[in-house]
Amino acid sequence: MKLIMFGRDTDATGRKKRIYIAGAPGSGALLKGLAKSILGVCDCECYIDIGGDESDPSDRSVQIEQMDLAVFAVTKAFLTAHCPGREFDLVCAREKNIPILPILCEAGLETLFSRVCGHYHLLDARKEEFSYELSEYLTSRFDDYIRLAEEKDPVRYRAFLSYRKKDRSEAVKLLGMIQSYPVCLDTAVWFDDFLTKGENYDRNIDAALRGADFVLLAVTPSVLEASGGAPNYVESIEYPHAQAYGKPIIAVEMQPVDRREFARRFPKAVLVSPRELGNVLGQLYGRPCTAPPVIDAETACNLGKLYLKGERVYKNPGLGCRLLQEASRHGSWEADWRLAKICAEGIIADRDYDNALRYYEQCAVRIVKESQGLTAAGKAGGNYFISLCICQANMLLEYSELCRRFCRDPGLRRKILITNSSDYIKVCELLRDQGMQSERVNPGNGLLELGCLNSEDGNAGEALRIFDLAEEYFDVLFPDRKKLFPASQLARLYSGRGKTRMYQAKALSDPALFAAGKADLEKGLSYSRWIERVYGRDF
């Protein structure tokens, strides 16, 4: 497997999202075109395999496991011919809980794809609105976590992973090995993963080594071989820096080497076998390698998010979910929110709407309790309080949408929607007074929900009054209506108000009101048709 990377020439800080793009053999031009489309809407790194299909399956698995998204170009050849992308990469992504995005590149393949690969929401690259749909997916569904102000760093220890670039697979194995030990749960690893332009390796290496508590060296014959004109960063830069800063150096023999030669060239490194690594780590941390750190709910939640996203740690969605569940058991509303989204979206695990609703309900209770505690302590208005309110508003909006679609008890559904809408309006009004409003955080969304509920109850006059108030907010805060969320809210608003006006017009025998309702209804249907054309029926 030989990956080439496409990316924007930007000097971005932090780790960019990695997207793996696969298709049928010989479809390189198509895959490059998809990479170009993705980079047009997202500053990320796109990887395409140009090495054919003869690579070691374990190496292929290691490469795919580190991706944040797996995109598959769906063509007839992809579905019917021998294709590593379908036969191995898709299966691997599914097993490793990597989000999967199939993109339809030829007509008439939806049914065949579902039969061969399973049921997924497909984007259609041939549609005029493909870039809108792709942008919405990448910005709203792929990376929608909201970072709290003043978030506590859950990492206590830092390791620097040194390896020859040709040994990346061994380095990733060592990374997974290190973080399989419970003692290393809260240890971040500086990992020169997929060195690319803009990452400023030479500038960052010194700071990373200075801040490391210890250095890990992935030892293979490559570490000892002549550079052949290419710089051997391990021997010429990383090892001397680590030695100069007095860092403990644990060299793990991932492949057999001449131990005498290694000891001569790396005298300060402790060379151990993979089996001996646990004991050495236990000595370094001062407790058995099987003993995890004692962490509180906030730390467990923040660590869970790191493992879900693969930031500074080896990506492990299963461990991330377990840490979030641990945090939830100890009262973390943020862990509840993350778990609710995971259950609802079905990206990491199968969809479970009942559990999603349970986590949302628990989150709503806990976040209100924390907000009240901050207010009682005189901390309302601070950065954390404002961030908390923004999270609460977004969470309530998601909770209401899920409840509206999937709560099976009509009475409970109504009760939740009324409570959520009232709480949402209150928190949005508080944020409005702070000068903070947006598409998803404004009283209009809560008013729309209350208007629909009043209309369902036959309170036409009250429903129309509330619909008009909601429209006033939307007129200001929905400048770009060719986006999924504004369009869906406007579809609900105009369809709901149109039906209510027509209902009331019949009762009052008012032709003008009936005409206004009909116009509203047509306006709402136009938004619904646009959503279906651009995003499909699933939305």
Q: Residues 70, 89: contact at Cβ < 8 Å?
A: yes
At residue 52, the pLDDT reads: 59
Q: Give residue 95's pLDDT.
A: 84
Quote the pLDDT of residue 150.
Answer: 45
Average pLDDT taken over every residue of the chain: 87
Percent residues over pLDDT 90 in the chain: 59
Give the count of beta carbons closer than 10 Å to the beta carbon of residue 404: 15
pLDDT of amino acid 133: 80
| Contact yes or no for 505/517 (Cβ under 8 A) | yes
Is the per-residue pLDDT at 296 higher than 80? yes
Please check the confidence at residue 421 and state whether its pLDDT lies above 70. yes
Could you give the CA distance from residue 339 to residue 358 in angstroms, rounded to a whole number? Answer: 10
**What is the distance between the alpha carbons of residues 115 and 119, in angstroms, rounded to a whole number?**
8
C-alpha to C-alpha distances, 413 to 64, 305, 399, 458, nearest whole angstrom: 41, 30, 11, 17
Assign 495 a pLDDT band (cuts: 50, 70, 90). Answer: very high
Is the pLDDT at 53 greater than 60? The verdict is: no
Cα(306)–Cα(158) distance, rounded to whole angstroms?
14
Instruction: Mean pLDDT check: name the lowest of 93-97, 317-321, 394-398, 507-511.
Output: 93-97
Q: What angle do CA 448, 451, 455 make, to 5 degrees?
A: 140
- Supply the pLDDT for residue 46: 92
Candidate from 6-15, 57-66, 283-292 with smallest mean pLDDT? 6-15
pLDDT score of 65 more than 90: no
pLDDT of residue 143: 43
Question: Collapsing DSSP states into helix, strand and coil, what is residue 308?
Answer: helix
Q: Give first-to-last CA distance, the chain, whole Å.
A: 37
pLDDT tens profile 474-492: 998 887 787 889 999 999 9
Beta-bridge partners for 71:
21, 101
Amino acid 187: pLDDT:
94
CATH topology of domain 157-285: Rossmann fold (3.40.50)
Instruction: Identify whether the C-beta of residue 502 lies closer than 8 Å to the C-beta of residue 521.
Output: yes
The domain limits of the chain are: 3-142, 157-285
Q: Which of 7-11, 169-173, 437-441 has the lowest mean pLDDT?
A: 7-11
Looking at domain 3-142, what is its CATH homologous superfamily?
Response regulator (3.40.50.2300)
| pTM for the structure as a whole | 0.70
Burial of 188 (0-12, 13-18, 19+ CB in 10 A): buried
Helices (H), 434-510: 443-456, 460-477, 484-508
Section 49-53 average pLDDT: 67
| Strand ordering across the sheet containing 3-7 | 3-7, 45-49, 18-22, 69-74, 100-104, 123-124
Confidence of residue 320 (pLDDT cuts 50, 70, 90): very high
**Which residue in 88, 87, 119, 124 sits closest to 105, CA to CA?**
124
pLDDT tens-place string over residues 376-385: 988 887 778 8
Rounded to an integer, what distance in angstroms lies between the CA atom of residue 326 and that of residue 343?
16
Quote the DSSP letter at residue 92: H
Cβ neighbours of residue 213 under 8 Å, at least 6 residues apart?
157, 158, 159, 187, 247, 248
* pLDDT tens per residue, range 182-240: 999 999 998 765 343 334 456 677 888 988 999 999 999 999 987 666 678 899 889 99
Lowest mean pLDDT, pick from 175-179, 330-334, 363-367, 535-539: 535-539
Distance CA 288, CA 291 (A): 5
Per-residue model confidence as pLDDT tens digits over 115-138:
888 767 678 899 887 887 888 777
| SS3 (DSSP) at 335 | helix
Residue 128 is predicted with a pLDDT of 80
Q: Tell me what pLDDT residue 21 has.
A: 95
The sign of the torsion formed by the CA atoms of 256, 259, 262, 266 equals positive
> Is residue 502 within 8 Å of residue 514, measured between CB atoms?
yes
Residue 414 scores a pLDDT above 70? yes
Q: Do 3-142 and 157-285 show the same overall fold?
A: yes
